[in-house]
């Protein structure tokens, strides 16, 4: 009997929690955005007084707003393109249960101010976020020319580890290295980019060393090149793998346990030591957001790689695949693993050995990588400093070239123009190299 009454109390307690829970939660009812040349104002209309914290992160620029015990009612998708300063607004893993974390992905650096206004005529409590774009000082830009985007290229296996072996005896390690070398040559030949090979010859490199090397070289991306294999000869086609969330979570735990190791993480170490010192929650937050960013970038890049590779080879999977692979585990920069085809398939084994096919594959990967970083340039990179010019009435290519002190051929090349004609309103990239 005693047990039963304990049970009753427990069930009652549970019911009370269930009933009381939602009633206490604040609600984010709607978000309004207004934009002027001076600033962008984001107003969060809340059902109750907000309890919040807001902080900014760089690389990429973001404003993060943590709202205590808050439910999201507002539609975020409707907000796209309401300010040129905001790329999008999304939710992210909140710090605590029932909390809401909003992430405003910004298109450029901005300072922020917050204020809470009392109930509006409609009864909303308003959290006002003002974002003011911080213009880059042109003289500092001139003083520090942007850096190259660094691509780490990792040819899988090597040395005592041959990888998979094809039906006519081809080793995976021997076909992925020339693809990696050709990709490096392509990247190196592109202004604003540079690449390095994690393995430059036929020797063994451990998986841990591979991502550590990329971190040491301050890579913006690590691409691991492999060839697939199966027990039967039929399966064929390429695929691209990114880190699964579960593995990402366990890796995060490992990084957080190793305080001495945290500072090795790119970018994150800096932010953590500046703003949080010994606060483990903030460290977790920064690491969380950095990892999330790497994963989003990896997935976006994986999709565009598949699109490009699909033009030169068959695809095994047309969507990015998720796996718990050691070489993908870095939380601080995006990493991808490309299976260039099935070496166990006789046709693809032949293809993978063919230098012409290897070149096509390297080309496809290079195009995807370049496109990705051109639309998401790291803030301190040369690509981020790129200027654009909108063609006005009466302007010719030579007029524009003179104005920016570049040559007409350089201007044509940067914009892949085949003729000298430009149309009014056309946006031209001004080459910085």
Helix (H) or strand (E) holding 207: helix 207-216
Nearer to Zn ion, 195 or 225 (CB): 225
* Contact predicate 433/192, CB 8 Å: yes
Smallest distance, Zn ion to C-beta of residue 260, A = 32
The window from 128-136, 214-222, 225-233, 295-303 that contacts Zn ion (CB under 5 A) reads 225-233
Three-state secondary-structure class, residue 145: coil
Per the DSSP assignment, residues forming a β-bridge with 161 are 158
Calpha distance 90→101 (Å, rounded): 8
CB of 226 to Zn ion, least distance (A): 3
- The distance of closest approach from Cβ of residue 227 to Zn ion in the complex, given in angstroms and rounded to an integer, is 6
Reduce the DSSP state of residue 332 to 3 states and report it.
coil
User: Contact at 8 Å (CB) between 289 and 252?
Assistant: no
Residue 160, Cβ neighbours under 10 Å: how many?
9
Q: Which residues pair with 154 in a beta bridge?
A: 224
Cα–Cα distance measured from residue 390 to residue 426, given in angstroms and rounded to the nearest whole number: 6
Kindly report the number of other CB atoms within 10 A of residue 193's CB atom.
22
Binding mask 151-170 for Zn ion (x = CB under 5 A): -----x------x-------
Which of residues 156 and 320 has its CB atom nearest to Zn ion in the complex?
A: 156
Minimum distance of Zn ion from residue 163's CB (angstroms):
4
φ, ψ for residue 19 (rounded to 5)? -75, -45
| Of residues 84-123, those binding Zn ion (CB under 5 A) | none
Identify which of residues 156 and 431 has a Cβ nearer to Zn ion in the complex. 156
From 112, 226, 291, 316, residue interacting with Zn ion (rule: CB under 5 A): 226
Which range, of 31-39, 49-57, 209-217, 219-227, touches Zn ion by CB under 5 A?
A: 219-227
Taking CA 222 as the corner, what is the angle to CA 217 and CA 226, rounded to the nearest 5 degrees?
130
Instruction: Write down the least CB distance from residue 192 to Zn ion, Å.
Output: 30
Q: Which residues contact 109 (CB under 8 A, 6 or more apart)?
A: 58, 61, 133, 134, 136, 379
Q: How far is the CB of 331 from Zn ion (least distance, A)?
A: 23
**Which span (16-24, 86-94, 148-156, 295-303) binds Zn ion, by CB under 5 A?**
148-156
Instruction: Report how many residues bind Zn ion under the rule CB under 5 A.
Output: 3
Question: Does residue 90 contact residue 105 with C-beta atoms inside 8 Å?
Answer: yes
CB 188, min distance to Zn ion, A: 24
CB of 176 to Zn ion, least distance (A): 7
What gap in Å lies between CA 258 and CA 235, rounded to an integer?
Answer: 42
CB-nearer residue toward Zn ion: 226 or 360: 226
Nearer of residues 210 and 266 to Zn ion, judged by Cβ: 210
Structure tokens at 8: 């009753």
Stretch that binds Zn ion, among 192-200, 203-211, 226-234, 273-281 (CB under 5 A): 226-234
CB of 225 to Zn ion, least distance (A): 9
CB of 337 to Zn ion, least distance (A): 8
Within a 10 A sphere around the Cβ of 69, how many other Cβ atoms? Answer: 17
> Which residue sits closest to Zn ion, CB atoms considered?
226
CA dihedral 83, 88, 91, 94 (to 10 degrees): -80
DSSP string, 265-288: STTHHHHHHHHTTT-HHHHHHHHH
Q: Segment contacting Zn ion (CB under 5 A): 29-37, 224-232, 253-261, 276-284?
A: 224-232
Taking CB under 5 A as the criterion, which residues in 353-412 touch Zn ion? none
Please tell me the distance from the alpha carbon of residue 120 to that of residue 223, in angstroms, as a whole number: 52
What distance in Å separates the CA atoms of residue 153 and residue 130, rounded to the nearest whole number?
41
Give the binding site for Zn ion (CB under 5 A).
156, 163, 226
């Amino acid at each position: 009997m005693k047990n039963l009454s304990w049970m009753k109390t427990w069930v009652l307690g549970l019911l009370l929690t269930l009933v009381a829970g939602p009633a206490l939660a604040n609600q984010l009812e709607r978000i309004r955005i207004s934009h002027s040349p001076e600033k962008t104002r984001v107003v969060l209309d809340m059902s109750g007084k907000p309890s919040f914290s807001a902080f900014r992160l760089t690389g990429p620029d973001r404003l993060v707003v943590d709202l205590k015990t808050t439910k999201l009612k507002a539609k975020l998708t409707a907000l796209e393109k309401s300010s040129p300063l905001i790329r999008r607004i999304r939710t992210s893993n909140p710090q605590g249960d029932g909390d809401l974390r909003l992430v405003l992905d910004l298109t450029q650096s901005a300072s922020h101010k917050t204020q809470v206004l009392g109930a509006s005529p409609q009864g909303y409590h308003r959290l006002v976020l003002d974002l003011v774009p911080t213009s880059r000082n042109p003289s500092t830009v001139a003083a520090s020319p942007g850096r190259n985007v660094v691509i780490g290229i990792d040819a899988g296996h090597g040395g005592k580890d041959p990888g998979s072996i094809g039906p006519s005896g081809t080793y995976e390690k021997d076909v992925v290295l020339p693809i990696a070398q050709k990709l490096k040559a392509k990247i190196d030949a592109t202004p604003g980019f540079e690449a390095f090979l994690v393995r430059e010859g036929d020797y063994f490199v451990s998986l841990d060393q591979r991502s550590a090397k990329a971190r040491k070289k301050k890579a913006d991306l690590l691409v691991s090149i492999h060839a697939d294999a199966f027990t039967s000869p039929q399966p064929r086609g390429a695929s691209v793998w990114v880190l699964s969330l579960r593995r990402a979570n366990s890796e995060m735990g490992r990084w957080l346990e190793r305080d001495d190791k945290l500072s090795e993480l790119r970018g994150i170490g800096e932010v953590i030591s500046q703003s949080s010192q010994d606060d483990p929650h903030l460290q977790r937050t920064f690491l969380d957001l950095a990892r999330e960013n790497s994963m989003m970038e990896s997935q976006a890049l994986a999709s565009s790689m598949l699109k490009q590779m699909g033009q030169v080879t068959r695809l095994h999977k047309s969507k990015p695949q998720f796996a718990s692979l050691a070489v993908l585990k870095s939380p601080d920069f995006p990493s991808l693993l490309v299976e260039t085809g099935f070496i166990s398939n006789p046709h693809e084994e032949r293809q993978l050995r063919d230098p012409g096919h290897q070149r096509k594959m390297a080309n496809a990967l290079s195009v995807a990588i370049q496109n990705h970083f051109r639309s998401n340039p790291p803030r301190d990179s040369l690509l981020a400093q790129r200027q654009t010019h909108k063609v006005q009435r009466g302007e010719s290519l030579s007029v524009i070239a003179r104005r920016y002190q570049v040559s007409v051929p350089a201007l044509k090349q940067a914009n892949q123009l085949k003729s000298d004609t430009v149309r009014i309103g056309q946006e031209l990239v001004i080459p910085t190299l």
